[in-house]
Amino acid sequence: MTAPRAVRLLSMIFLVVGAAAPVAAASAPAITFNEATGVSGANQNQTVGWQFDVLTPVVVSGLGWFDQGANGLGTAHTVGIWAPNGTLLTSVLVPAGTGAPLDGQYRIADIPDILLPVGTGYIIGGENFSSSDDRLVANALQVVDPRIHFVDATFSDVGSGFVRPTSFSIADTGFEGPMATLVPEPTTVLLIGTGLVALGAHARRSRKRP
């Protein structure tokens, strides 16, 4: 390959990568919901959350808590994810106030990326408090990431602290308090790979020209 052709090929690669980059959106909450629907659950000294199944492997990049009004949390909440076998996979303290960045409806604290394989019976839960004025929403109309299946709202005994919440609630949707952010599917990598294959074919055709 001549030098000018190599330069053109590299330029085309950079263009493909640059064009693909915007496709890789930032992580997004696993569930969003209509704040005008649902009711306010009682804030008590217990862990609340929800059970879900993973239909397609997903990567969790952060954990957070619902911030009504987007003006900061009144209380710090420890939030975690438990595997189907009951093992606590990861947890983080979401600070009070605006210390954690706002991602849509939630204050999210970053965690090291963690892969959740396909499975049934995962639980996300966060410690709540009777002194908290952070709204806990139940039975709201919600939109769930299609890679997971929402099972039910869950809770632990009052006074139990931060534990795996395994009791199913009559609040079929919710509790909208603790949340996880999921990394999007790797479309960018696929686009870049497709682009590089096309460029390779272009280079081969160019070499055959007189």
How does pLDDT run along the chain (210 residues), one tens digit per residue? Answer: 554 454 343 344 333 334 434 444 589 999 999 999 999 988 999 999 999 999 999 999 999 999 999 999 999 999 999 999 999 999 999 999 999 999 999 999 999 999 999 999 999 999 999 999 999 999 999 999 999 999 999 999 999 999 999 999 988 787 889 999 999 976 533 444 444 444 444 444 555 555
Q: Does residue 193 share a domain with residue 148?
A: no
Q: Does residue 32 share a domain with residue 19?
A: no
Q: Does residue 157 share a domain with residue 200?
A: no
Which residues lie closer than 8 Å to 132 by C-beta, 6 or more apart? 43, 74, 75, 77
Give the integer Cα–Cα distance in Å for 44 and 97.
20
Place of tokens 């995962």: 122
The dihedrals phi and psi of 94, each to the nearest 5 degrees, come to -90, 115
Q: Does residue 92 share a domain with residue 37?
A: yes
In the structure encoding, which two tokens stand for residue 196, read together?
A: 């590089």
Q: Does residue 64 share a domain with residue 14?
A: no
Please, are residues 135 and 68 in contact by the beta-carbon 8 Å criterion? yes
Q: Does residue 202 share a domain with residue 168?
A: no
Residue 63: enclosing H or E segment and its boundaries?
A: strand 58-66
The per-residue pLDDT for 5 is 53
Q: Does residue 38 share a domain with residue 137?
A: yes
Give the integer Cα–Cα distance in Å for 58 and 63.
14
The per-residue pLDDT for 23 is 42
Domain that holds residue 48: 28-183
CATH number of the domain bearing residue 63: 2.60.120.820
Q: Does residue 160 share a domain with residue 75?
A: yes
